[in-house]
Every structure is written in structure tokens, then in C-alpha cells.
Structure 1
Amino acid sequence: MTAPASDVILQRMMALHPKVIDLTLDRVWCLLAALGHPERALPPVIHIAGTNGKGSTQAMIRAGLEAAGKTVHAYTSPHLARFHERIRLAGELISEDALSAVLDDCYAANDGHPITYFEITTVAALLAFSRTPADYTLLEVGLGGRLDATNVIDTPALTIITPVSIDHQQFLGETLEEIAGEKAGILKRGVPCVVGPQEEAGLAVIEAHAARLGAPLLVHGQHWHVWEERGRLIFQDETGLLDLPLPNLIGAHQVQNAGAALAALRALGYGETACEAAVTRAQWPARLQRLRHGPLVEAAGTAELWLDGGHNPAAGAALAEALTRLSPRPLHLICGMLNTKDIAGYLRPLAAAAQTLTAVSIPGEANTLPAETTAEAAQAAGLPATTADTVHEAVEKITAAAPNARILICGSLYLAGNVLRENG
């Protein structure tokens, strides 16, 4: 079968810069200028940074806005199965023709100059958004914030910073304060910012940055509160109290993400209809997602099969907590991670919840941890571990020994994407 035109262009774009990540905005500004500054022609922008919860929060805001009858562009990364998932035009995934057109235009305008894959594809998303009418644009930061390719909007309608924790230290800094400073780089003078739950040190940095810019903050625990009570989600801010269903996305951390989404919707002037849709209609694959169809599910037989793409210590802790909310079943992990991640920190909270771990390497990823290294880290965390050549083999091994298991495939969004592609 012939590869889609967009795949060919994307492959060509990967050769434009020797590094995958090289944080600066200079190349982005040059390409935007060559294209006539499409970033100045976008519908009102909601810009979202943070370490964990960006995608879930964006999905909830989009569900709320669409329930209120608004059309919404959305940009997210990385994709799971197909690049098209990164760009949603007025509520629909970008078509192959539209994607190929903006990629071609960006490649031609760049004229062979060095630019990273993420930078040029982000510009392509902005170009697509500028060409299609909508009511809002949701932009999710790729890495950090201050020097991220999405940080080119002079005056967004709103910014959001979800919980900040230690991740990507090689690019963002070794301390929580340094990383929070990079995330706070999306703040703009006079533009309100919704701030999700933060550690005290990170919040102090965000507050200081906002004070310098005169950016009003709507901070969790100060200006808005969210909690679970008797199987309901309760949200309160100065506008009043909302009594809503729990989020359809599973886990206590999704209650906190919902709080940020609700605070954003209220700041934009939306009421209870939009807020209820935000928590009940959001769809976000590979976030403790139950797989119900496909070859892997068939191989699992009577075992449950779940998928999650979290990959840092905070995500591991949130995942371990969320698993306690499911009905009791023996838990077995299939795990593959990148060598840039804190595997010990990720596995530590999960080791107490699981009975075994089967380690795999992530197919097609140069930076995958070898399965043997992942297994050694699990053993060091007190979790019995073996290896398998493929996820399918791992599922078969687990179900042969524990037919009524709950199997969780976890450790990386790249592994999750591979699973979703292979499982149809």
C-alpha cells in the first residue's frame, strides 16, 4: 500500500534538524514570518502547560465548549496511532488532504533551513487553525513552556498550568523551581491563568512570575476548590458551587484535572451545562483506558486489559491510586519505558499494587529502555519481573498463569500508541 502523502512529508521533515529537541523560538518565528504570521489569525487561544494532566484538562475543556455549541480547534502531542490526532479542526481530526497541504506549505516556506520536527509541525497546526473558522483554539505545550514552539501567541484568552513535577530535567532544569519557571513562561501580561494543584515551591515561582506581568491568577486552594463527596464532584469558586457527576476519566487525579477545566470554563463565562459536559463527555485515549476489542483483547481471554501512557513518578502515583478504585483483581503489569525517564520513581508506587511485571522494549523507538533493564528496575522495586519480546507474547504469558488477571500495559505514550495501532 502507498504511504499517505502526509507520512512522506513528515519523514522528510525529520531530516531538517539533527536534534529531536532544541529549545528556542528563533526558528519558529522565522517560519511564521515567512508564512505571513498565521499565529495572529487564530480564534481566541487557551494555552495549557504543566507536567501532568495537560491532555486530560484540554479534553474536558473541549467537551464543555462543544456542549455549549462552540467550535474548537485543538492541538496536542504526541500522537498515539496517527499524526492526524495532534490537530483537530473545528471539532474534527484534520483530513489527510488538509494536513498534506499545510505540511507542504510549511516545508516550502522553511526552504531547507534547520528546524526541529516539533517546531515545523506546530507551525503547520497554527497554519491549519488560521485557515478554518472556529470559536476557540486549545494549544497544549509540548515541552516546558517558555521556549516551547506553541508559545508564540501574544495575547491568549486564558492560560492554564496543570500540576508541575520533576520531568525532562535535561531540558527544563534539575529543581522544581526551575521547571515551574519554564512552565510559567506561557503567562502573558494581563491574561488570566488558571493554576492547578502545585507544590509550594512551584507555586511561589508561578505567583512571582504572574506578579511581574500583572497576570491575574485563579489558583487551586485559593480561588477555586474541587473535591469528591459521596460519589459526586463538588467544585466551588466565587461564582458559587457546582454538584456534578464524577469525571468519566478514571482516578482522583482526574478530579483535580476537572477542577482546572471547570475553573477555565467559568473564567470564560460558561455555566453548568458546559461544566457537566466537561466531566461526563471528555474522551482521552491511553489514560487508564479499558481495551475491549482487538487481537490483544482476544489473547487476554477472560482477563481485563487496560492501557495507560503515564511515564513519570507523579503519573505512577496517580495511576496506583486510580487502580484502587477498580473492582479487586490480581494486577499484572506489562511495562516499556524510554531511557530518558525516571523508571525507579515511576515503578515505586506501582510495585505495591501489582503482583508481577513483564518488561518489553518499545518497538521502533531508538530511546527505549531494553526490556532487561526495565525488569531489573522492577526487581529492585520489589516487583517480580520477567521479559517478553512483544506485548502480545506478554499478554499470553500472563493469562496462561493468571486467567482472571487485570493486565495493565503502561510506562510510555509511545508504547501505548504502538498498542493502539497493533490492536486496531
Structure 2
Amino acid sequence: MRDFATSSDARVQAQLDRLAALSLPEGRLGLDTMRALLARLGDLQTRLPPVFHVAGTNGKGSTCAFLRAMLEADGKRVHVATSPHLVRYNERIRVAGELISDDTLADLLEEVLDAGEDLAPSFFEVTIAASFLAFARTLADACVIEVGLGGRFDATNVIEHPAACGIAALGIDHERFLLARETGVPEDPMARIAFEKAGIVKPGCSLVTLSYDEGPTLEIERAAMAAGAPLAMRGREWFASVGAGIEYEDRHGRLALPLPALPGAHQAENAALAVAMLRHQDFVSVSEEALGRGILEARWPARLQRLSVGPLTGARETWLDGGHNRSAGEALARHFAGRRVHLVLGMLANKDPRGVVEPLAESIASISAVPVPAHEWHDAAAFGDRARAFPSVKAALAELPDDGLPVLIAGSLYLAGEVLRLNDEAPD
């Protein structure tokens, strides 16, 4: 599956068409192609500002959003690379605080695609190379880079000396790639996931993580020890309790921090991880005041986002979340505990259809199954007998009863992007 992208700019679209033609050869793993591509471009990964590199199954994008907001609240210029995009491809590359312009994007993609034409790079490898090209050519104080898939073989994992690496919440996802049979890797699924994520650790670089069960913890400990990397794990090297605010503590002292403006109890965990990453490195300083202000100012679209009044949703209370696995379903269930909600669900065919529905079962008033545009998706039958099929989100919303209950649109970031586009809420 590829990440489809379109642009209203003709020069950008010409390069996106070239990107769309790329494919990852079946069975190709490793970073050789990415390193060869970057070598032709001048080994950009060696010329980046201090990098904060974040992996995880759930929450890594939100952690990146908190890192960016905290750094910017301290007056820093910050580059950011995240994925996937929701509405515009430009969202993947933020240069010194601003989404990359169409003119610059067209030039960078053309340069990277021309340089690697005979290497057969993937969509994501080209995207990351273009990001690094932009970051290396523009002065900034820090980079925040989100792992795309896994960690060990992810295209971002060519960074040599990050300021800090972080691992957010773990869960089962992308099983075809992350749980593929391989000699010398853990057999337990969660331990294997941790093994893949911990593959981003680098010698001497702080590895900052949440707390996990025994199997994942052991794999993370092994990875840190093998790399000679200081490990800062929640509950051991740093602590965070969530109540009316976030009470944070580590060897540097205690902090009383606010709760995030981002909805969802899990966002306090992501904010605490971002704080820990900043406090367990020596490359970029951030004040306590900036940490708190960043927690309040961070925004991350399509993650328990309450949509504005718009052409798609009208004035009805409507929430949007790109969550598509059980861990995300459990976070949604906590947010809507004690409330009834109409669920509009679109999920890719390679995702577990029960992952979101089962945790939310006690809150679901109805299930409307919709397609995920330009992808293969689960039909209504996959979500149980109660689910009704509709040709689009708009059609599903039109058939919901006027009963005052909120609506939750969930199941796919690709679907979320379409919803934001239709409701005139493209990320900026």
C-alpha cells in the first residue's frame, strides 16, 4: 500500500506522480538503499540540527507535537518530519516552524527523485530524504522526527547522533511487517514490537521510554545495553502522575505541569514522555515555563479532535480520530466512558476490525461503516450485525437520528484526512 497524495500546484503534482509510481520491492528490508540515496545527496543525516527521534505504536505523533510545541515555546526554530499527511503532502515536512512551500517541495522532490532514479527507493525513503535535504539547508535549533513504521528498518533510522530517542506506547499493529518470521528475534509479539521500536537506539544517546510489561522491558533494556545508551524509563529514572495536572519528577527535580489541551487522558502520558526526552539530553535547553506552555499549546489533528462547525458536520458534536488498532480503541473508550456515541467507522482491509469496536462496545449507539477513499477497506459485516453500510461519511451522517448524541468518526488516518478536507479544516 502507498500513501496517495495530490496537490493543486502543477509542479508539485508532477513530482507526486513520480512518487506514486514507486513501490517497495517485496522482501526488501534494511537501510542500504536509504544510505545510498543520502550519500548521493551529501549525507544529509550528518548535517541536521539536534534530533529528537520518536518511535511507538500509538502516541508517537502526539509526542512529536508536544516536543515541537515545547521547543518553540522556548523560542527555538524547529524542523519536523511526521507521517502520514492528512490533507496535503506538505504536512509531512515542517521547516523552521512552517509547512514546506509548494515551490520548495517541488524542487526538493525533483532533486531526490533524480538522484535516486536507479536505486528504486520507496515513497517513504524519498520523502524522508527530501525532508533531510530541507532541514540541512535551513538553520534551526532542533529537529523532531517521527518514525514511520517500526524503527529498526525505518527510513528515518539513518540518523547517527540524535539528541534523544523516545519510545511511546506499544501495541500490535502492522503485523505483516513487524511480526514477520525472522531468525534471532523475539517470538512473543509484544516483545518483538519492542525489539523493532528499540532499534532506533544509538550509542551514547539517551533512550527515553514509558513503562511496559516484562517482555517489552527486557528487549528495550537489551537494546540500550548493547548500544551503550543511557536508558531513562518511566517509573525508574523518571516519574509522572496525572491528576489535576502532571506531577513530574526526575534526577533534576520536580515539576508541576498543566494537563494538555489535547483531549484524551493518554495525552498526558505523551506530554510527560516529551518532557522526559527534553530533560534527558544535553544538546538543547528548554525552560520549565516553556515545557508547561508547550503542553497547553500543542495541537495534533485527527487525534481525538473535536471538529468545528462545517459543511460536513454541521453544528453537531463530532469527534475525529485516526486510531485503527486496539490500543487506540481502548484510549477512545476511556474518553467516551459513560457516554453514548454514534460510531462512523472506516478501516483498511489489513487492520483488525474488532480493534476499535470491542473496546468501545458499551458506548456505541450505532455503527455506520464507510469506505476509506482510494484504499481497500472492511465492509460493514466485519464490524458485526449492528453495522450499516454507507457509501460515504456524508451519507452516514445524514442518516443518523437527531438525538443529541455525539458522533465519533474513526478507524483510519486516510479517512480522517478526507473528513478534514470535506469540513474545510486542513491542517496548517
TM over 0.5: same fold?
Answer: yes
How far the C-alpha of 1:18 sits from its partner, in A, is 5.4
The 1-side partners of 2:407 and 2:28 are apart by 37
Q: Give 1:368's aligned residue.
A: 377
The 2-side partners of 1:279 and 1:10 are apart by 34
How far the C-alpha of 1:21 sits from its partner, in A, is 9.0
The 2-side partners of 1:25 and 1:77 are apart by 18
Is it true that 1:335 corresponds to 2:345 in the alignment?
yes
The 2-side partners of 1:21 and 1:126 are apart by 26
Task: Describe how 1:46-195 pairs up with structure 2 within 5 A.
Answer: 46-173=52-179, 175-195=189-209
Q: TM-score, normalised by structure 1?
A: 0.92
Q: TM-score, normalised by structure 2?
A: 0.91
How many residues are treated as equivalent by the alignment?
A: 407
Among 385, 388, 392, the alignment partner of 1:386 is 388
Q: Give 2:398's aligned residue.
A: 396
How far the C-alpha of 1:168 sits from its partner, in A, is 0.9
Contact 2:380 2:387 in 1 (8 A): no
How far the C-alpha of 1:270 sits from its partner, in A, is 2.5
Describe the superposition over 1:34-79 as per-residue Cα deviations: whole angstroms up to 9, x where unpaired.
1111111111111111111001001001100001111000000000
Q: Give 2:288's aligned residue.
A: 272
- Secondary structure at the aligned position of 1:145 is classed as coil
Identity level (%): 45
The 1-side partners of 2:38 and 2:220 are apart by 28
Amino acid in structure 2 at the alignment position of 1:330? R
Relative distance call for 1:18 and 1:91 in structure 2 (3 A) is closer
The 1-side partners of 2:65 and 2:135 are apart by 17
Q: Give 1:348's aligned residue.
A: 358
Among 307, 319, 322, the alignment partner of 1:291 is 307
The 2-side partners of 1:65 and 1:344 are apart by 38
Among 213, 232, 249, the alignment partner of 2:227 is 213
Deviates more, 1:133-142 or 1:22-31: 22-31
Contact 2:324 2:355 in 1 (8 A): no
Describe the superposition over 1:75-97 as per-residue Cα deviations: whole angstroms up to 9, x where unpaired.
00000000000000001100111
- Secondary structure at the aligned position of 1:352 is classed as helix
Is it true that 1:204 corresponds to 2:218 in the alignment?
yes
The 2-side partners of 1:3 and 1:360 are apart by 30
The 1-side partners of 2:110 and 2:27 are apart by 22
Is it true that 1:25 corresponds to 2:31 in the alignment?
yes
Relative distance call for 1:47 and 1:253 in structure 2 (3 A) is same
- Secondary structure at the aligned position of 1:153 is classed as coil
Contact 1:227 1:255 in 2 (8 A): no
- Secondary structure at the aligned position of 1:27 is classed as helix
Contact 1:14 1:116 in 2 (8 A): no
The 2-side partners of 1:288 and 1:2 are apart by 28
The 1-side partners of 2:85 and 2:49 are apart by 23
Gaps of 5+ in 2: 1-6, 181-188
The 2-side partners of 1:17 and 1:27 are apart by 13
Contact 2:37 2:119 in 1 (8 A): no
Among 240, 255, 263, the alignment partner of 1:250 is 263
How far the C-alpha of 1:297 sits from its partner, in A, is 2.2
- Secondary structure at the aligned position of 2:193 is classed as helix
Contact 1:309 1:415 in 2 (8 A): yes
Contact 2:47 2:136 in 1 (8 A): yes
Hey, which of these two has a bigger chunk of helix by percent? 1
The 1-side partners of 2:415 and 2:384 are apart by 17
The 2-side partners of 1:21 and 1:244 are apart by 46
- Secondary structure at the aligned position of 1:415 is classed as helix
The 2-side partners of 1:21 and 1:61 are apart by 34
Relative distance call for 1:226 and 1:378 in structure 2 (3 A) is farther
Runs of 4+ off more than 6 Å: none
Q: Give 2:320's aligned residue.
A: 307
The 2-side partners of 1:10 and 1:163 are apart by 32
The 2-side partners of 1:238 and 1:18 are apart by 44
The 2-side partners of 1:297 and 1:130 are apart by 41
Amino acid in structure 1 at the alignment position of 2:178? L
How far the C-alpha of 1:20 sits from its partner, in A, is 8.8
- Secondary structure at the aligned position of 1:295 is classed as coil
Describe the superposition over 1:262-303 as per-residue Cα deviations: whole angstroms up to 9, x where unpaired.
1112224433112102210101000111111321122xx4x3
Is it true that 1:281 corresponds to 2:283 in the alignment?
no
Contact 2:339 2:363 in 1 (8 A): no
Contact 2:9 2:102 in 1 (8 A): no
Deviates more, 1:173-182 or 1:406-415: 173-182
The 2-side partners of 1:163 and 1:198 are apart by 8
Is it true that 1:408 corresponds to 2:408 in the alignment?
yes
Q: CA RMSD in A?
A: 1.7
The 1-side partners of 2:83 and 2:8 are apart by 25
Contact 1:191 1:215 in 2 (8 A): yes
Gaps of 5+ in 1: none
The 2-side partners of 1:252 and 1:201 are apart by 25
